[in-house]
Structure 1
Amino acid sequence: MLTSLSIRNIVLIEALDLSFGQGLGVLTGETGAGKSILLDALGLVLGARADSGLVRAGEEQASVAATFEFAAMPGGIAEALAEAEVDLEPGEPLIIRRRVKADGGSKAFVNDQPVGVALLRQLAGALVELHGQHDDRGLVNPKGHRDLLDRYAAADVAAVSSAWQTWHGARRELDEVRAGIAQAKADQDLLLAHLAELSAIEPQAGEEETLAGARSDMQKGEKLAGDLEELRLVWDGSDAPLARLRSAARKLDRIAPEHPLLAEALAALDRAVIEAGEAEEKLEAAAEALTHDPLELDRIETRLFELRALARKHGCQVDDLPEVMRSLRAKLDAIEQGDADLADLEKAAATAGAAYRKAAEALHAARVKAGALLDKAVAAELAPLKLDAARFQTSVSVLDEDRWGPSGMDAVEFLIATNPGADFAPLNKIASGGELSRFILALKVALAEQGGAATVIFDEIDRGVGGAVASAIGERLARLADGGQLLAVTHSPQVAARGRTHYLIAKASSGTVTKTSVARLDAEGRQEEIARMLSGAEVTPEARAQADRLLEGV
């Protein structure tokens, strides 16, 4: 709830610090004393347009700070603050400040952190609900009517939301599969052609590297063919060096026992024969590997060209072509399997749709039933508020299927007819300012604990009424304020007498300077102010006695 309001240099208010508590607080004062200035100042911290005309004459800037404290954080505030990266510890008050410069422009702060004005507007709906002559939010706005009716009906909207998510998910999956199958069928001929082309070549993983290596060897063999042939002639034949080494080794083997040096010479010669033999084997292997076969080289180069061309065509690496083949086969298999899968998905979507419709229809029935009860509850409040000719109706209409959603299939709006035989219409289209405020009061009373902002303000709800109607308004305001916080700007002594706290707004002039002040009244001050409201400019003993009776009767 709103616990304090600090105003500096707003129009006629030079400096003002107010504290507020629970229950019904009333604000009174003569016409033109500046009650609207208080509401304008509060509007600034709730995101209203920053008009430089609000800055007190002669001052460079004006400021307003409002402090809100909660036993439990109202819904939506914590999420909005977290999204804006504003820190607020549990139990910590929420302090909103707004500065307005005389030359234009403004700045906003939440708990001393600079924020955009959009955040203030986002928070406003959960902080303060203002009903007055130009009410266009709160209960007047049909956007919130469905939620209010659901809370009044204690409706199980969560079950409908869950059924909607299931149905929506099933439809989305069905649409995706349908689109995939349709696209696959449209591409089927192309898929078959691509697969046939790849199947004809049958690419293998790692094949490019193997072919490229073989081609490189053959190309090197072509260059080295002459040298290899000369080397082969060195090793071949009986007169070749290796043959002579072997012959020498055999001869030396016969005489080696005759002297140690001969044995050592034989060992060295054997090693030379072994090394020369290994060299011969490697030369033969190299010659075989580097064999230049023009036909095989042409085959390898043709294969490489085809593989690389296909890789470019499919936008992949050569080694990825086998996976491309598998993907093509899978797509073609999916086309064949698609109709069966589609049938299963259509069945699942139909089942989910039927479950959603059943839940939404049950919610619709609950809304219609609760709407009828709410209509009766509001009707019972209208006559005491001098609206006995008026009628209230909760309109629950089924939307077109393409507008159904997690909140069901209904549009809900509160309608009124102010005269017998008149058509029902939205609240703010028919009712005058005073009538609208009283309609809202009747609706608030009927809805009782069904939600709303932490602080409710009624601005001159008693305009144009008096006597018993004013007493009825005061009684209902006090009832609404029980356990919460409600502020009422009033000209009615019957309403003022119901207040738990009473604030007097007064305007005083000194020379050319005019100031507005607000004072919290004690018991004696309350009696005097209510007596003034009863009698006018001159407070009579009779008025004071009547004020006492009003105060004693509450």
Structure 2
Amino acid sequence: MLTHINIRNFAIVEQLDLDIPNKLTVVTGETGAGKSIMIDALGLALGNRADSGSVRHSADKAEILATFDVHNNPAARSWLQARDLDADHECILRRVIAADGRSRAYINGTPSPIQSLKELGEMLVSIHGQHEHQALLRRDTHRLLLDEFAGLNQQAKAVADAFRHWQTAQQAFEHFRDHAKEMQDRADLLRFQINELDELKPVAGELATLEAEHKKLSNVESLLSRGQQALTGLSEGDPSLVDQTHSVLHLLKDMLDEDPGLKEMTELVESARIQLDEAGTSLRHYLDSLDLDPEHYQTLDSRIAAYFHLGRKHRVDPQQLAELWHELQTELDAIDGGEEKLAKLEQAAEAARTAYLAAATKLSKGRAKEAKKLGKLITEKVQPLGMPGAEFQVDLQPLSTEQYSANGLETVEFIVRTNPGQPAKPLNKVASGGELSRISLAIQVACAAKTNVATLVFDEVDVGIGGGVAQIVGQLLRELGHHNQVMCVTHLPQVAAQGHTHLHVNKQTSKNQTHTDIAKLSQDEKVAEIARMLGGLKISEQTLAHARELIEESQA
């Protein structure tokens, strides 16, 4: 249940800090005072869309903090525990909206996506607005209400998931079947291309190696000629550099006997002689390795030409032929075995259809069982609301096979008989605006009684009713408040009198600013407020007496 709400710089509220009691809390105030502001702020804390208009004029941000006790809410506790957000049966939702419209959300102090607020919020609070009776004209709303009442939301989601899986599997089967000829033609082309590449057997990185070797062999005669000249001068000529260095070294060693200061120079020359010897040996090995075999050269030339030919043919860099060869083979492997694969796809589609029908049939049985209960309950709730002869039904009509959908095997439609002896018809065919408001309220109260959500909010759902009917509406909400925490924004004194707690919204306007305050009323203040709602600006003793009477009747 909601235990506390703190609002700062939201709309025309500068600062609001309220503890929210259990049972039925009514919220009243003058028209335009901002009675729904607290509900709007709570909606933002629960993940509703925000914009820059939410921020109080001249403020840089708005902030809403809602605290919930989830001790008796196992679904919310499990959700929090699964995400490591639980905090000793307390849940604090915080929403901060900047003046530029950007917002941030927090769950128990941890930054969280707005979608997470919505998921969790649906387990904490159910808000019923004054315009919900318009949604009653849509069949989708009827289905959702029945599933909510019957506790079938998870089954309905499973059916939707199964339907999507079936459709995906069916489309895969049909696509493969319808494109079998195209795929066979593609397979023939792939085999031809792969056979060409099989002859080459390209290897990643091979072309660069072949081109380097080809370049070397193309210049082998020049390399041999110049290499031999270098070898002659280095070590095989007469005299060679090695011979001359050896002679210089001999002279230096003779001089070293007479002058030890020449030792370092002698060592340098000795090192040079050794390196010249090694260079001569390496050059000889290099020249010996040069191959004048024209057959090998032709083999290299042909393989390089094959690389470039296939590269042009396949419109790829010759260096990428090895990768292309692998990709073509992979694609062919995926296409080959077409008949076997088609059979597997057909089996998968049929299995998915069977799974969908099983889940949808189970859902249909659950809907059929609960539809009668919901119709009977709404009838019981709506008859005292000035519609004594009304009879409400939830009509389920099976769909043809071609019409099966993610919503199941049937349509769900609310129909009503407003007077005895008349046929039951859809709501938009028989219900007037006032009747639709009362039917909407009866549905909301009936469905709220079955909800697992602890906190129920009704925002001016009593629009369009009055008199004795309004008093019955108040009694329904008060009865609901014995089992749930209920908050109701109302303009009817008959409803307000039923509240266990009464909050009053007051708008104050100064020279440059407008403020809205919400205060908990004492018993005497409650009498005065209900008298105002009954009699307008001038409150007489008779009006006050009437207000006391309404309050006493609510507590009887």
TM-score range, shorter chain: 0.5 to 0.7
2:426 counterpart residue number: 424
Letter in 1 for 2:496: A
Q: Under a length normalisation based on structure 1, what TM-score does the superposition of the two structures give?
A: 0.66
| 1:121-520 alignment, distance < 5 Å | 127=125, 129-132=127-130, 134-135=131-132, 145-155=142-152, 156-157=155-156, 159-160=158-159, 163-164=162-163, 166-168=165-167, 170-171=169-170, 174=173, 183-201=182-200, 208=207, 212=211, 215-216=214-215, 218-223=217-222, 290-293=291-294, 297-314=297-314, 321=321, 325=325, 328=328, 331-332=331-332, 335-396=335-396, 408-410=408-410, 412=412, 414=414, 420=422, 423-425=425-427, 431-432=432-433, 434-447=434-447, 448-450=449-451, 454-459=455-460, 461=462, 463-467=464-468, 469-490=469-490, 492-504=492-504, 519-520=519-520
Measure, in 2, the Cα distance between the counterparts of 1:114 and 1:359.
Answer: 37
CA distance in 2, matches of 1:181, 1:453: 57
Shift in CA distance, 446/44, structure 1 to aligned 2, threshold 3 Å: closer
* Structure ID, larger Rg: 1
Could you say what secondary structure the match of 2:487 adopts?
strand
Larger deviation: 381-390 or 202-211?
202-211
Distance change in 2, residues 1:50/1:400 (3 Å): farther
The equivalent position to 1:70 in structure 2, one of 68, 71, 79, is: 68
Deviations along 1:413-440, one digit per CA (max 9) or x if unpaired, are 545565655841459x9552x5444323
Which secondary structure does the structure 1 equivalent of 2:450 belong to? coil
Figure out how many residues of one structure are paired with residues of the other and give that number: 485
SS of corresponding position for 1:385? coil
In the alignment, structure 2 segments of 5+ residues that lack a partner are 231-276
Q: Find the aligned partners of 2:454 and 2:494 in 1 and give their Cα distance.
A: 25
Moved more, 473-482 or 296-305: 296-305
Percent of residue pairs bearing the same amino acid type: 26
CA distance, structure 1, for counterparts of residue 52 and residue 209 of structure 2 = 80
Query: Aligned pair in 2 of structure 1 residues 383, 229: CA closer, same or farther (>3 Å)?
Result: closer
Q: Distance in 1 between matches of 2:470 and 2:491?
A: 10
Q: RMSD between aligned alpha carbons?
A: 5.5
Q: What's the CA shift string for 1:154-185, capped at 9, x where partnerless?
A: 33346535644653564465467558865542
Map of 1:550 onto structure 2: 553
Task: Give ranges in structure 1 of 5+ residues lacking alignment.
Answer: 232-274
2: CA distance, partners of 1:333 / 1:506:
75
| Residues 388-410 of structure 1: per-residue CA shift (max 9 Å, x gap) | 35454435456787886655455
Q: Provide the rounded CA distance (Å) in 2 between the counterparts of 1:546 and 1:187.
A: 87
Report the Cα offset of residue 96 of structure 1.
Answer: 4.3
> Matched residue of 2:145: which SS?
helix
Equivalents in 1 of 2:323, 2:60: separation in Å? 71
Cα offsets for 1:51-110 (capped at 9, x unmatched): 97997xxx8569976542223389899999x99xxx99672422446688xxxx767665
1-structure distance, mates of 2:61, 2:133? 25
Whole-Å Cα distance in 1 between the matches of residues 42 and 526 of structure 2? 29
Contact 1:152 1:450 in 2 (8 A): yes
Instruction: Show the counterpart of 2:240.
Output: none
CA contact (8 A) 2:52 2:102 kept: no
Is contact 1:494-1:550 (8 Å) kept? no
| Counterpart secondary structure, 1:474 | helix
What is the alpha-carbon distance in structure 2 between the residues aligned to residue 383 and residue 489 of structure 1? 23
Aligned residue identity for 1:546: E
Q: Match of 2:21, SS? A: coil
Q: Sort the Cα spacing of 1:196 and 1:497 in 2 relative to 1 into closer, same or farther, 3 A.
A: closer
Change (3 A) 1:463 1:512: farther
**Equivalence for 1:538:** 540
Q: Return 372-381 or 496-505, whichever deviates more.
A: 496-505
Q: Deviations over 1:348-380 (max 9, x none)?
A: 211221221232133123223322321121112
| CA distance in structure 1 between the aligned counterparts of 2:101 and 2:213, rounded to whole angstroms | 78
Relative to structure 1, the CA distance from residue 62 to residue 400 in structure 2 (aligned partners, 3 Å threshold; closer, same or farther) is farther
Say whether the 8 Å CA contact 1:10–1:54 is kept in structure 2. yes
Instruction: Flag the 1:229–1:488 CA change in 2: closer, same or farther, 3 A.
Output: closer
Q: Distance in 1 between matches of 2:68 and 2:463?
A: 29
Q: CA deviation at 1:473?
A: 1.5
CA distance in 1, matches of 2:523, 2:162: 58
* CA distance, structure 2, for counterparts of residue 515 and residue 208 of structure 1: 80
- Give the superposition deviation at 1:298: 3.8
- Counterpart residue identity of residue 424, structure 1: P
- CA–CA distance in 2 between the matches of 1:199 and 1:114? 57
Structure 1 pair 187–76 and aligned structure 2 pair: CA distance change class (3 A): farther
Conserved 8 A contact 1:22-1:483: no
Which residue type is aligned with residue 193 of structure 2?
A: H
